[in-house]
Chains A and B, each alone.
Chain A
């Protein structure tokens, strides 16, 4: 299913495009090996103040390792990590102005909720009245005012998650690291908390670095997303760019649903590129095909919602069109997904919004249909 939200793309906030901005965190060619195993591979990123940055990737791709290096629990094998321009490799975890919300929450089981939240402040010898005020503020922030005297085991999963968040926010760190903070919650609670998190981050004006394997979550909360694969950073961009201009098949496939049609570059005419798809006697035009030359193998990445299905070929000759046979139809209520088999044997998905209430669909199984899309609907990918 295609993601329903594209994140806060309306916000005019793009420090990464401004060369005068100084990053808060900078990973410089960081590599981390465990024995022979490379968990993080020559990775560089800049994260800017007040940014909500998401690290997205499948389980085991090195996301937690990256966070742990930033928090100070692991040392990079090669490369440097700069925080506010300072190399932090010699700084132990308890002296870094960074706090982390653990994947397992790691609440202290023998302390009350209040004591858990106050723990970090006590380490800094903050005066008692101030600690009390800050704890009360944090409890209010995560709406747990009535639960201050409880122990963690007397709380539900969602409440524990909020205590963990409050504890990691209590010291108002420059940078908050969140390791799959919502993974243990059910879907409804997770979606509600995602919006709470973005609100909180804007309200407090802090920098958040969140790790997740859930692409919808990353799209919902983040200003920018870094997509990782086996310790390698594949693409760093805003959610909309990641979705609309993926730089590889891996990213296109990881974020949302995509059709990948293999072909060969037949002609290049300025910005217009013609692709000859394998096994089909047709030419597809794309407006965007960076770094390609004639005869390169490319994959045309097309999102299902950008392909129209019709019984007749489109009148406009400038749109791309190909015929096929309806193989399957998945009715999802709001959408219908048509699986159309092309002459080359591959199946292409097209998502049509069900704008009218039709009990009988005009297009049905085994119909011969035409798929069409505009020149700028797809991207040609070379890897």
Chain B
């Protein structure tokens, strides 16, 4: 059934991938450049990584980003999961369309508008801008992504599992925690990871809502790049790429392995019957 790809197909695939990944590759290569000049190769060195670690401003920003991402992803996942449950389980309650519309609006809202409106809100209620305003802002936009991910899992969740738990004497709330949550856990973890990454690389919304002492890594990188790209920045970006790649690979390997194991066990069970 497999057809040989035509020359045109091969060329377009190669160009497409080159366009996507060549810049990243170049960035990683030049982070190991001896020279200060970004475009001239002068031999291998790891000195920019050492300098990066000694750069207090950069490290502070990285630490702020990690904390913001962790806290906002966690809260967004909890709220997103609750929203998904309400949308799936409570049927057609009054105002459901409005509710779901309001949850999903940030998905399509331009970031500049989200950022600006949040800034206006914080100013209006006289909230000191800093770490927590960034966290709140990140929760508002990543919560809808979390809700979408969890909702798509809940659609296929067999409610008779919850009923079975109740039938065996388990009150509804406990049934949720001992049956529903463990079963949908992979989706909840995906939702958390998605929210975490979204928070990690957000520049626009963070720029609007941050205050003194809460500069995130993307903001730091952006402000440094305006003064000229240094190999140090390349090093930071390479580390970020490594973190994200390892995370994504680990998650997909775990999922894949579990799937393979499940299929093998199912085959064994059918054969052994």
Contacts and interface: CB of A to CB of B under 8 A. Distances in A.
A102 interface: yes
A46 B168 CA distance: 24
Nearest to A123: B169
Given A154-B266, A155-B269, A94 B170 contact: yes
Nearest to A164: B164
Contact of B168 (A73, A109, A123, A153): A123
A71 interface: yes
Given A102-B160, A104-B160, A159-B273, A94 B262 contact: no
Contacts of A103: 160
A156 interface: yes
A58 B183 CA distance: 33
Contacts of A106: 158, 160-161, 163-164
Interface in A68-109: 71-73, 92-95, 98-100, 102-104, 106-109
Contacts of B268: 154
B158 to A, nearest CB: 7
Interface in B228-273: 262, 265-266, 268-270, 272-273
A154 B158 CA distance: 19
Interface of B: 158, 160-161, 163-172, 174, 179, 182-183, 262, 265-266, 268-270, 272-273
A94 B269 contact: no
Residue with the highest number of chain A CB atoms closer than 10 Å, among B164, B165, B182, B270:
B164
Interface of A: 71-73, 92-95, 98-100, 102-104, 106-110, 119-120, 123-124, 151, 153-159, 167-168, 171
7 contacts: A73-B166, A92-B166, A94-B167, A99-B168, A102-B164, A109-B183, A171-B169
Contacts of B161: 106, 108-109
Nearest to B182: A110
B272 A93 contact: no
B169 to A, nearest CB: 4
B166 A94 contact: yes
Contacts of B269: 153-156, 159
Given A99-B168, A119-B168, 14 more contacts: A71-B163, A71-B167, A92-B166, A93-B163, A94-B166, A99-B167, A102-B160, A119-B170, A120-B169, A154-B269, A157-B273, A167-B168, A168-B168, A171-B169
Which 7 pairs show the lowest CB-CB distances between chains A and B? Answer: A120-B168, A156-B273, A123-B169, A106-B164, A106-B160, A154-B265, A110-B182
B164 to A, nearest CB: 4
Nearest to A167: B168
Residue with the highest number of chain B CB atoms closer than 10 Å, among A71, A120, A123:
A123
Contacts of A168: 167-168
A71 B270 CA distance: 32
A104 to B, nearest CB: 6
B162 to A, nearest CB: 9
Nearest to A152: B269
Contacts of B272: 156
A167 B172 CA distance: 19
Contact of B265 (A72, A151, A167): A151
B188 to A, nearest CB: 13
B233 to A, nearest CB: 45
Nearest to B170: A123
Nearest to B159: A106
A110 B183 contact: yes
Contact of B270 (A72, A73, A156): A156
Contacts of A72: 166-167
A99 B164 CA distance: 9
A73 B166 CA distance: 9
Nearest to B168: A120
A114 to B, nearest CB: 14
A73 B163 contact: yes
B167 A100 contact: yes
Contacts of B172: 94
Contacts of A154: 265-266, 268-269
Contacts of A109: 161, 183
A344 B270 CA distance: 54
Contacts of A158: 273
Residue with the highest number of chain A CB atoms closer than 10 Å, among B166, B265, B270:
B166
